[in-house]
Amino acid sequence: MVERVIATPAALELIAQLKAEYGPELMFHQSGGCCDNSAANCYLPTDLTIGPHDVHLGDIGGVPFYISASQYEYWKHTQLIIDVVDGHGGTFSLEGNTGKAFHTRSRLFDDAEMADILSEDRLRGR
């Protein structure tokens, strides 16, 4: 199975810091570009409702990572790599006051990985 989302060591470290501060129940949602740019935002589960059109890409640092169906269609050919940069996080994202920000990078899946992704999507009705 191809991992659709992964995290760098720096991102895993920041996730651990946020878990220590806010508790283990966190979640990510890849923003669609409104308000907080196109960033991976970290929330408490009570801060954002996951809807039927959100796609669970996987978990990073033991935290579920979601993306809207429309964003998924745009990004499905890539593996999202969640990293950390110096700066202010998104206004809504929990790391906003840490001096760090989650940053999404990506790489294209190769042909074999893409075939696996398409097969998996067919099984899931996407």
CA gap 103, 24 in Å, rounded:
21
Q: What is the pLDDT of residue 55?
A: 92
The residue with tokens 């669609």 is: 32
Q: Rounded to whole angstroms, what are the CA distances from 3 to 60, 104, 120?
A: 10, 15, 12
**Tens digit of each residue's pLDDT (9 = 90 or more) over 39-85:** 789 999 999 899 898 999 999 999 999 998 888 888 889 999 999 99
0.75 exceeded by pTM? yes
Structure tokens at 92: 């809504």
| Domain residue limits, the chain | 5-124
Q: What CATH class does 5-124 carry?
A: mainly beta
**Tens digit of each residue's pLDDT (9 = 90 or more) over 27-36:** 999 867 655 4
Q: Which of residues 97 and 4 earns the better pLDDT score?
A: 4
